[in-house]
Amino acid sequence: MNLKELLDSKMFTETILPMVEAIALALVVMWIGKILINKAVKIVGKQMEKRNTDETLRPFFMSMLNFGLQAILYITVIGILGIETTSFAAILAAAGLAVGMALSGTLQNFAGGVMILIFKPFVKGDLIEAQGYLGVVKEVTLFVTILNTLDNKTIILPNGPLSNGSLINFSTEPLRRVDWTVGIAYGDDVVKAKEVINKLIEADSKILKDPAPFVAVSELADSSVNFTVRAWVKQEDYWNVFFAMNENVYTTFSKEGLNIPFPQMDVHVHNA
């Protein structure tokens, strides 16, 4: 059989020619698809950069987008070549389900990490209290958040429970209120005690004038008359002001003749 007879034969026109055409079309689709995918990933990357998307999320989303588009492209090319893709897609779906069930806890932490990085309930450097721990955020990853406690211990918290549970962020507001309970003995001068506390507040330059400090008798306790003292400070001055006021109250009250009481019990002995 010569070339002309081969080209005119039924096998060539019905089998070989459609196969060559399908392969050529598949190669063209593959080539164009690769170019479009690369451009799409770059465009998405630039948009995420313009919107200041978290640097941890950016490469992950770009790689996931690239993977998803590549998978669609390959399935399309396989379909063009005449290979049945239904069973192939079913196998991929079943495999994905099995992997998802096996990694359910890990995927929960991953989803929590994505939510934390997108909505930013806290960022690196914030002082937070969550899951029974208090510490400064050292790092936020896709699966865990790492804290440094105030005594320099490292705490690793899974992002799943962290994203779904309650937490306190002490660093989001520029101002914080410092609260004290100051007690004096029964019989001491309440007016004088209040004046001394107000003088101590006025003498501390870190305590803000607005909002105004608050001092009032709040409780007639078993062994003391208690004052509630509240003052506003900048977030970074909180602990310095808290500890300084405790020390100043202790040293100043004794000089002013005011007594800081302690729990005591009177025992009366009666002769039978």
- Give per-residue pLDDT as tens, 18-30: 677 777 888 888 8
Question: What H or E segment, with its residue span, contains residue 208?
Answer: none
> Could you tell me which residues come within 8 angstroms of residue 84 by beta carbon, excluding any fewer than 6 positions away?
none
Domain with CATH 3.30.70.100 in the chain: 175-255
CATH architecture designation of domain 175-255: 2-Layer Sandwich (3.30)
Q: Is the pLDDT reported for residue 6 higher than 60?
A: no
**Can you tell me whether residue 176 is helix, strand or coil?**
strand
Whole-number pLDDT of residue 146: 93
pLDDT confidence tier of residue 14, bands split at 50, 70 and 90? low
Q: Which of 36-50, 198-212, 254-268 has the lowest mean pLDDT?
A: 254-268
To the question of domain 121-169 being in CATH 2.30.30.60, the answer is yes
pLDDT confidence tier of residue 101, bands split at 50, 70 and 90? low
pTM: 0.61
Q: Do residues 193 and 184 touch, judged by C-beta distance below 8 A?
A: yes
Whole-number pLDDT of residue 185: 93
> Checking phi first, is residue 235 left (phi over 0); if not, alpha (psi -120 to 50) or beta?
alpha
- How many CA atoms are closer than 13 Å to the CA of 96, on its beta-carbon side? 6
Q: Is the pLDDT reported for residue 226 higher than 90?
A: yes
CA distance 46 to 43: 5
Averaged pLDDT for residues 90-98 = 64
Taking alpha carbons only, the member of 113, 153, 116, 118 closest to residue 134 is 153
Domain with CATH 2.30.30.60 in the chain: 121-169
Averaged pLDDT for residues 50-74 = 76
Whole-number pLDDT of residue 117: 83
Higher pLDDT, 116 or 71: 116
Domain with CATH 1.10.287.1260 in the chain: 9-102
The CATH number of domain 9-102, selected from 1.20.1250.20, 1.10.10.10, 1.10.287.1260, 1.10.1790.20: 1.10.287.1260
